[in-house]
């Protein structure tokens, strides 16, 4: 009799345990997280433009050889034949290029900063977090989310895509200089609280300042009459995750610092950030592997005859690269006839580092000086759409 009573009791216990396990599994799969850019992707987004010396058609053509590219078109562009002809001239693969027509005109190619931030889960679902963009709502994220039927979570914080770096496991890098500037009078603690809450993060590592060229011109000249033309410390101009445990950070040599006041200041800032990262741990308490990547060359242009009326240091960086499933689109400052041996050696070393940390992706070098002239880079004009449903 005892045995007969025990078996049903055990069965009930086992059934209950299985139900709890299944419930827990469903919750885990339903949990949204902020993926790293090195995780599987559905597409690379660009806002279509033939301006900026055709950099977007060029990048679209390169990436579309193996990966999907999504091009957003303003409402005054209905016929895509002209665009397809342009991309054909750049040898783009039409099978991997899709178009999304917009109801409104945005006329802003720097899509990463005001575009959607994707959260995903293992059930194949997506959510979008929408931040304020320098105090405004451009409307792009809302229109895209409605068109794709993706739920939107809104935040009162000002935050731009180039200011954030995540490892896909719950750790994010932010720069104090930028976040405290765009979110005045909020404290660092309040910003962190909102970020962790909205993005389901586990921890934030705070870096101090970005590279000097990325300072705001309102801060005054970097030295003499040379001004910056940036946004006060976007992380993607100096520091990126290569995977969940590996960080790339720009670095300035002693010789470079001694030769130029901008590079001297850059070395001070980057060394401070490196020391923060060297002593930091991830969400699980583990140390990071950190690679120092040579600093991109300074490009200073005299714009006093134009509308800017100043000498400007462009925001050059090897860190402003694009990651796709198959490629790394790496900024380059060499031309085929460049006689600069020092730059040649620098880019050789940069290439070696990138091949080591991205062994399964092909490194494609594309000249970046033209887009840098306009205060941004390849990463700034793109967004990676993650592939939901993949296990981290």
CA distance 305 to 119: 46
Arithmetic mean of pLDDT, 155-162: 96
188-195 contacts at long range (C-beta below 8 A, 24 or more positions apart) = 191/157, 194/155, 194/156, 194/157, 195/157, 195/159
289 beta partners: 246
**The pLDDT of residue 388:** 87
pLDDT at 325 over 90: yes
Q: Could you report the per-residue pLDDT of 123-134, keeping only the tens digit for each?
A: 999 999 999 999
Q: What is the DSSP-derived secondary structure letter of residue 268? A: H
Q: Could you report the per-residue pLDDT of 262-312, keeping only the tens digit for each?
A: 999 999 999 999 999 999 999 999 999 999 999 999 999 999 887 788 999
**The pLDDT of residue 66:** 98
Q: Could you report the per-residue pLDDT of 191-236, keeping only the tens digit for each?
A: 999 999 999 999 999 999 999 999 999 999 999 999 999 999 999 9
Identify the three-state secondary structure at position 248: strand
Q: How confident is the model at residue 28 (pLDDT cuts 50, 70, 90)?
A: low
Class of domain 32-386: alpha beta
Identify the three-state secondary structure at position 377: coil
**The pLDDT of residue 5:** 46
Domain boundaries, the chain: 32-386
Share of the chain above pLDDT 70, in %: 92
Q: Could you report the per-residue pLDDT of 74-121, keeping only the tens digit for each?
A: 998 888 999 999 999 999 999 999 999 999 999 899 999 999 999 999
Identify the three-state secondary structure at position 323: strand
CA distances from 283 to 25, 43, 96 (A): 21, 28, 36
How many CB atoms within 10 Å of residue 132? 18
Q: Are 101 and 73 in contact (CB under 8 A)?
A: yes
- Using CB atoms within 10 Å of the CB of residue 337, give its burial: 0 to 12 exposed, 13 to 18 middle, 19+ buried: exposed
Q: Token pair of 57, please?
A: 């058609």
**The pLDDT of residue 10:** 58
Q: Could you report the per-residue pLDDT of 309-319, keeping only the tens digit for each?
A: 899 999 999 99
Question: Comparing C-alpha atoms, which of 277, 286, 293 is closest to residue 174?
Answer: 277
């Amino acid at each position: 009799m005892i045995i007969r009573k025990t078996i049903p009791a055990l069965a009930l216990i086992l059934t209950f345990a299985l139900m709890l396990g299944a419930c827990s599994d469903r919750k885990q799969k339903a949990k949204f997280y902020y993926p790293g850019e090195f995780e599987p992707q559905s597409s690379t987004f660009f806002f279509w433009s033939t301006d900026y010396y055709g950099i977007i058609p060029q990048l679209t053509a390169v990436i579309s050889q193996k990966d999907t590219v999504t091009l957003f078109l303003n409402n005054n562009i209905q016929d895509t034949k002209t665009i397809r002809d342009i991309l054909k001239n750049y040898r783009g693969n039409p099978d991997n290029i899709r178009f999304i027509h917009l109801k409104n005109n945005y006329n802003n190619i720097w899509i990463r900063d005001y575009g959607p931030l994707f959260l995903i889960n293992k059930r194949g679902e997506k959510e979008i977090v929408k931040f304020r963009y320098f105090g405004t709502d451009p409307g792009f994220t809302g229109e895209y989310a409605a068109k794709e039927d993706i739920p939107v979570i809104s935040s009162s914080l000002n935050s731009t895509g180039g200011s954030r770096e995540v490892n896909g496991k719950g750790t994010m890098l932010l720069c104090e200089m930028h976040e405290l500037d765009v979110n005045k009078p909020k404290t660092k603690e309040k910003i962190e609280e909102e970020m962790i809450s909205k993005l389901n993060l586990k921890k934030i590592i705070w870096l101090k300042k970005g590279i000097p060229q990325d300072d705001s011109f309102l801060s005054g000249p970097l030295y003499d009459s040379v001004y910056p033309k940036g946004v006060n410390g976007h992380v993607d101009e100096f520091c990126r995750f290569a995977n969940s445990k590996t960080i790339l950070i720009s670095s300035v040599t002693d010789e470079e610092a001694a030769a130029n006041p901008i590079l001297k200041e850059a070395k001070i800032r980057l060394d401070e950030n490196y020391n923060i990262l060297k002593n930091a741990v991830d969400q699980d308490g583990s140390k990071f592997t950190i690679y120092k990547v040579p600093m991109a060359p300074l490009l200073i242009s005299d714009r006093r005859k134009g509308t800017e009326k100043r000498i400007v240091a462009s925001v050059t960086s090897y860190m402003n690269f694009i990651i796709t499933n198959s490629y790394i689109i790496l900024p380059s400052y060499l031309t085929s006839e460049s006689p600069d041996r020092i730059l040649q050696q620098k880019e050789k070393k940069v290439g070696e580092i990138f091949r080591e940390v991205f062994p399964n992706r092909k490194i494609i070098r594309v000249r970046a000086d033209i887009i840098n002239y306009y205060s941004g880079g390849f990463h700034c004009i793109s967004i990676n759409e993650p592939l939901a449903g993949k296990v981290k």
